[in-house]
Amino acid sequence: MAGLTAARALAEAGRSVTVLEAAPRVGGRIFTMRKESEMIELGAEFIHGKPPELWSLIEETGLETYESAGPHLSYEDGRLVFGAREEAEEDARFAVLEKLEAWTGPDLTFADYLAQQPFSDELRESAIGYVEGFNAADHRVIGIAALGMQQAAEDQIEGDRLFRIRSGYDSLPDFLARKFTEAGGTLLLDTLVERIEWSRGNVVVSASVAAQVAVHRAAQLVVTVPLGVLQQGSIEFVPVPPPIHEAHRLRMGHVRRFTLLFRPEFWRTLAASLPAQILAQAPGAEASSAGFSFLFAFDQMPPVWWTSHPAPGDSLTGWVGGPRSETLAAFTAVQLGELACETLAQVLAVPPESIRAALLACYTHDWSRDALAFGAYSYVPAGALDACSKMTIPAENTLFFAGEHTDTTGHWGTVHAAIRSGLRAAQQVLSASARDAQSAAD
């Protein structure tokens, strides 16, 4: 999204722009799969709050959205209950994070910060679970300066509200790609950049295309690959620009998520087996989709689940972020489906055989092992908050870096952070070109 945003802005400003995309599709870590009427998101899924850049794009596309607003269920002490207790714990967790907004001490890791505070063990574990799950981070690494900044940023955009795009998230990058090419831009897919040689005002990019080397030349280059790719050294920079050194100060978070697709009768069977006040059919859903949005089972694996509610659907998504996700790192889709059946059987108090019989398929994408990502999304370690802003400083007005990891507004790991960074990089390119043109005229 960062690359497409920057490319469109530059093309519409009259610049000659070529996008080199390593994958056979656009969108990066937005990856939508369609199975009949189901929209299965394998990457980004939710729109977090009301960030203006993202909503401006959505309004331009005319895409229909809906808010994920439904009951939360919680598995506690061996039984499934309404989310009242979970909501109280959520308020307590947010109170912990909100305290960080006013923190003026040194930038500690979240673990070190918790060790200094008089929190109960229960609250401490709950806060750790939330920070690791939401940020895909290790609480022993992530910094409280970034957490405080993130909390303030979330408050500004109503970040606790979640929305979805009804036609699938990939509708957004597809729209951007179309607008980019309509503006005269060139989009090259299956083009894997391997080497970037540069000096002021001159860039030579070597890419692999169908096992052949293709060379592209330009005066300026915007680099929008994920942080994990920069850290792996998958692209050789000659010479190495300062933003690459800053990239190594940040961290790439890891997540394992998977989506189960069920036969429609699964929800009817489930609803019949549970008390009506716990689980009800979604209004107008024609016996598909459950009448709850989220299910929390923090002592299980995975600990977080969600449905498509209030939209009808026959899918259920499991999520585990941070270090806990490493236990599922080598699991195949089939193994994840089997684990899910066992966990759901315990949480929902139904025979595992009935869940297996209703399960049509399990879908997943391993972003941590994807060579075009090497992780889910970024987070900021203690002491590295300045690395993001330093990554936004152009190298000799020739190399410009964008992507959610370069965000300076506290929205790391989000689609709107990627969009903001793309707009910023495009403006930097245009400003640098204007300065160079003025210097030449003088």
pLDDT above 60 (res 433): yes
pLDDT at 276: 53
Name the band, by pLDDT with cuts 50, 70 and 90, for residue 272: low
b or e along 385-397 (b: 16 or more beta carbons within 10 Å of the residue's beta carbon)? Answer: bebbebbbebbeb
Half-sphere exposure in the Cβ direction for 89 (13 Å, CA): 22
Name the band, by pLDDT with cuts 50, 70 and 90, for residue 93: confident
Distance CA 382, CA 141 (A): 6
| Structural domain boundaries enclosing 361 | 255-328+330-365
Cα angle at 258 between 253 and 260, to 5 degrees?
A: 165
Name the band, by pLDDT with cuts 50, 70 and 90, for residue 152: very high
pLDDT at 278: 52
Instruction: Examine residue 237 and state whether it is found in any structural domain, yes or no.
Output: yes
Instruction: Examine residue 76 and state whether it is found in any structural domain, yes or no.
Output: no
**Whether the bond into 302 is cis, omega within 30 of 0:** yes
pLDDT at 284: 39
**Do residues 359 and 259 share a domain?**
yes
Name the band, by pLDDT with cuts 50, 70 and 90, for residue 81: confident
Name the band, by pLDDT with cuts 50, 70 and 90, for residue 87: low
**Do residues 54 and 198 share a domain?**
yes
Question: Which of 122, 143, 160 finishes a domain?
Answer: 160
How large is the average pLDDT for residues 197-212? 97
Instruction: Examine residue 408 and state whether it is found in any structural domain, yes or no.
Output: yes
Q: SS3 for the chain, per residue?
A: CHHHHHHHHHHHCCCCCEEECCCCCCCCCCCEEEECCEEEECCCCCEECCCHHHHHHHHHHCCCEEECCCCEEEEECCEEEECHHHHHHHHHHHHHHHHHCCCCCCCCEHHHHHHHCCCCHHHHHHHHHHHHHHHCCCCCCEEHHHHHHHHHHHHHCCCCCEEEECCCCCHHHHHHHHHHHHCCCEEECCCEEEEEEEECCEEEEEEEECCEEEEEEECCEEECCCHHHHHHCCCEEECCCHHHHHHCCCEEECEEEEEEEECCHHHHHHHHHCCCCCCCECCCCCCCCECCCEEECCCCCCCEEECCCCCCCCEEEEEEEHHHHHHHCCCCHHHHHHHHHHHHHHHHCCCHHHHHHHEEEEEECCHHHCCCCCCCEEECECCCHHHHHHHCCCECCCEEECCHHHCCCCCCCCHHHHHHHHHHHHHHHHHHHHHHHHHHHC
**Do residues 214 and 284 share a domain?**
no
Name the band, by pLDDT with cuts 50, 70 and 90, for residue 288: very low
pLDDT at 363: 97
pLDDT at 366: 96
Least confident of 33-37, 225-229, 273-277, 389-393: 273-277
Q: Pick from 275, 313, 276: which is nearest to 293 by CA?
A: 313
**Do residues 238 and 273 share a domain?**
no
**Do residues 8 and 150 share a domain?**
no
pLDDT digits (tens, 9 = 90+) for 12-59: 999 999 999 999 999 999 999 999 889 999 999 999 999 999 999 999
How large is the average pLDDT for residues 293-301? 90
Distance CA 4, CA 57 (A): 12
Distance CA 419, CA 426 (A): 11
Number of domains in the chain: 3
Distance CA 334, CA 399 (A): 43
pLDDT digits (tens, 9 = 90+) for 215-251: 999 999 999 999 999 999 999 999 999 999 999 999 9
**Do residues 416 and 269 share a domain?**
no
Name the band, by pLDDT with cuts 50, 70 and 90, for residue 424: very high
Least confident of 133-147, 256-270, 350-364, 377-391: 256-270
Question: Which of 365, 391, 418 finishes a domain?
Answer: 365
Instruction: Examine residue 80 and state whether it is found in any structural domain, yes or no.
Output: no
Please classify residue 242 by burial: count the beta carbons closer than 10 Å to its beta carbon, then call 0-12 exposed, 13-18 middle and 19+ buried. middle
Instruction: Examine residue 13 and state whether it is found in any structural domain, yes or no.
Output: yes
**Do residues 290 and 236 share a domain?**
no
**Do residues 259 and 357 share a domain?**
yes
How large is the average pLDDT for residues 297-302? 91
pLDDT above 80 (res 196): yes
**Do residues 27 and 40 share a domain?**
yes
Q: SS3 for 406-417, per residue?
A: HCCCCCCCCHHH
**Do residues 303 and 420 share a domain?**
no
Instruction: Examine residue 78 and state whether it is found in any structural domain, yes or no.
Output: no
Beta pairing partners, 187: 19
**Do residues 17 and 61 share a domain?**
yes
pLDDT at 287: 40
Instruction: Examine residue 59 and state whether it is found in any structural domain, yes or no.
Output: yes
Question: Which of 160, 185, 215 finishes a domain?
Answer: 160
Residue 95 or 90, more confident: 95
pLDDT at 83: 59
Instruction: Examine residue 31 and state whether it is found in any structural domain, yes or no.
Output: yes
Name the band, by pLDDT with cuts 50, 70 and 90, for residue 273: low
Q: With left for phi above 0 and alpha for psi between -120 and 50, is residue 45 left, alpha or beta?
A: alpha
Name the band, by pLDDT with cuts 50, 70 and 90, for residue 442: low
Distance CA 339, CA 351 (A): 14
pLDDT above 70 (res 159): yes
**Do residues 386 and 350 share a domain?**
no
Task: Work out the mean pLDDT of the chain and round it to a whole number.
Answer: 91
pLDDT over 90, % of the chain: 78
pLDDT at 434: 75
pLDDT at 286: 38
How large is the average pLDDT for residues 383-393? 98
pLDDT at 280: 47
pLDDT over 70, % of the chain: 92
Distance CA 123, CA 77 (A): 16
pLDDT above 70 (res 285): no
CATH of the domain at 184: 3.50.50.60
Name the band, by pLDDT with cuts 50, 70 and 90, for residue 183: very high
